[in-house]
Chains A and B, each alone.
Chain A
Amino acid sequence: MLSAFVRAFRTPDLRRKLLFTIAIMSIFRVGSFLPTPGVSYPNVQICIDETAGNNDLLGLVNLFSGGALLQLSVFALGIMPYITASIIVQLLRVVIPRFEALHKEGQSGTAKLTQYTRYLTIALAILQSTTVITIARTGQLFSGCSVDVIPNDNVQTILLMVLTMTAGTGLIMWLGELISERGVGNGMSLLIFTSIAASFPTALWSIAGGDNGPTKFTVVLVIVVLVIGLVVFVEQSQRRIPVQYAKRMVGRKMYGGSSTYIPIKINMAGVIPIIFASSLLSVPQLLAQFGDQTSDWVIWLQVNLVDPSAPLHLVLYVVLIIFFCYFYTAITFNPDEVADNMKKYGGFIPGIRAGRPTAEYLSFVISRITAPGSVYLALVALIPTIAFILLDISQNIPFGGASILIVVGVGLETVKQIESQLQQRHYEGFLR
Chain B
Amino acid sequence: MDALRISLQLLLVITSGLLIPLVLLHKGKGGGLSDMFGGGVSSSIGSSGVAERNLNRLTIMIAVTWAIVIVLLGLIQRVTN
Contacts and interface: CB of A to CB of B under 8 A. Distances in A.
Contacts of B9: 37, 156, 160
Most buried by B among A82, A111, A181, A187: A181
Contacts of A187: 29-30
B4 to A, nearest CB: 13
A270 interface: yes
Contacts of B63: 171, 174
Nearest to B28: A114
Interface string B42-81: 0010100000000000010001001100110110011001
Contacts of B16: 163-164, 166-167
Given A188-B36, A235-B38, A181 B31 contact: no
Contact of A406 (B20, B35, B37, B41): B37
A117 B28 contact: yes
Nearest to A91: B33
A171 B19 contact: yes
B23 A186 contact: no
B32 A110 contact: yes
A374 to B, nearest CB: 15
Most buried by B among A111, A156, A163, A265: A163
A104 to B, nearest CB: 14
Contact of B17 (A118, A119, A163, A235): A163
Contacts of B70: 34, 36-37, 74, 164
Interface string B6-38: 000100110111011001101111111111111
Nearest to B33: A86
Interface stretch (A251-259, A280-288, A392-400, A409-417): A409-417
Interface string A111-132: 1011101110010000000000
A177 interface: yes
Q: Is the interface of A mostly helix, strand, loop or mixed?
A: helix
Contacts of B24: 118-119, 122, 170
Interface residues of B, number: 37
Contacts of B38: 235, 265, 270, 409, 412-413
A170 B28 CA distance: 12
Contacts of A417: 41
Contacts of B13: 160, 163
B30 A117 contact: yes
Most buried by A among B15, B24, B30: B30
Contacts of A82: 30
Contacts of B33: 83, 86-87, 90, 272
Interface string A404-432: 00100110110011001000000000000
B71 A34 contact: yes
Given A74-B70, A110-B32, A235-B38, A170 B26 contact: no
A271 interface: yes
A89 B35 CA distance: 14
Interface of B: 9, 12-13, 15-17, 19-20, 23-24, 26-38, 41, 44, 46, 59, 63, 66-67, 70-71, 73-74, 77-78, 81
Interface of A: 31, 34-37, 40-42, 74, 82-83, 86-87, 89-90, 110-111, 113-115, 117-119, 122, 156, 160, 163-164, 166-167, 170-171, 173-174, 176-177, 180-182, 186-189, 235, 265, 270-272, 332, 406, 409-410, 412-413, 416-417, 420
Given A111-B27, A122-B24, 14 more contacts: A42-B81, A83-B33, A86-B32, A110-B31, A113-B32, A160-B12, A171-B23, A173-B23, A180-B29, A180-B30, A181-B46, A186-B31, A235-B38, A272-B37
